[in-house]
Amino acid sequence: MTTVSSATSTSTTSSSSSSGTLQLGTTDFLKLLMTQLTNQNPLDPTDPTEFTSQLATYSSLEQQIAMNDTLTTMSDNMSSLLTQVQLLASASE
């Protein structure tokens, strides 16, 4: 596989420095992917199985992030509910 151009590295660096951590969103991923495809060597193109693997990996990562967000929300809701139950229990004593 050919390496990604320096323009891509620059955009990745600028997004990581602005947020403090490297966070790659869907749009950023697609931009990187298009840059990679645009700048690949026509005589040695990217292996289709590797390309498919990258897309599947990113899709899996997005699903895991969404699941993590859902679990965090559920945990916060359960914690809030537990606090309310404790308050009601102490008020009824």
Predicted TM-score (pTM) of the model is 0.54
* Cβ-proximal residues to 24 (8 Å cutoff; 6+ apart), any chain: 12, 15, 32
What pLDDT, on a 0 to 100 scale, did the predictor assign at position 12?
A: 43
What pLDDT, on a 0 to 100 scale, did the predictor assign at position 17?
A: 44
Give the integer Cα–Cα distance in Å for 32 and 17: 17
What pLDDT, on a 0 to 100 scale, did the predictor assign at position 85?
A: 94
Q: What is the mean pLDDT of each run of 10 residues along the chain (93 residues)?
A: 43 44 73 85 80 84 91 96 93 82
What pLDDT, on a 0 to 100 scale, did the predictor assign at position 32?
A: 84
Phi, psi of 39 (to 5 degrees): -95, 10
What pLDDT, on a 0 to 100 scale, did the predictor assign at position 22?
A: 60
What pLDDT, on a 0 to 100 scale, did the predictor assign at position 52?
A: 85
